[in-house]
Amino acid sequence: MGTDEKPNLEQDVRENYRFWNEGQRAARDQLFRRLGPNGITIEYVSAPALEGGEAMAQMWEQYGGRCTTEIKELIVNGDQAAAYVHNHLQTETGLVTVPSIETYAVTNGVLRIRYFHRTAH
């Protein structure tokens, strides 16, 4: 996708979660590279932004195959999207649901993803 071409964020964000749930890491990585040909950052809010490829590899290593996602609400406005998601994490003691708000912004060929998760108090 060129920097002038607008993504279909409704479809792309939904595909992101589908690829995650189906264990299709290569397809998910390709989707993110298409959305962010000039770079990708991932930020867990309240922590520094990370380089997207490296952050995605860490996320996949930690949660891939143990966590599925369920979109509860997706709102898209222009080149930005916000998703309210239930993350269903399989733990040794059973299934735990962790809600998150996840935002996506595509500007000048850069994809910026931000994850709002609850932190321990």
Regarding the domain delimited by 9-117, which CATH topology (the fold level of the hierarchy) does it fall under? Answer: Nuclear Transport Factor 2; Chain: A, (3.10.450)
For residues 97 and 88, is the Cβ–Cβ distance under 8 A? yes
| 70-110 pLDDT tens trace | 999 999 999 999 999 999 998 899 999 999 999 999 999 99
**Mean pLDDT across the chain, nearest whole number?**
91
Asked whether residue 2 carries a pLDDT value surpassing 70, the answer given is no
Predicted local distance difference test score (pLDDT) of residue 120: 55
Question: Is there a contact between 52 and 121 (Cβ–Cβ < 8 Å)?
Answer: no
Look at residue 63 and tell me whether its pLDDT is greater than 50: yes
pTM over 0.85: yes
Name the DSSP class of 65.
T
Q: Where are the domains of the chain?
A: 9-117
Q: Are 85 and 69 in contact (CB under 8 A)?
A: yes
SS3 40: strand
Is the pLDDT at 5 greater than 80? The verdict is: no
Percentage, residues of the chain above pLDDT 90: 80
Q: How confident is the model at residue 118 (pLDDT cuts 50, 70, 90)?
A: confident
CB of 87 within 8 A of CB of 66? no
Res 22 pLDDT > 90:
yes
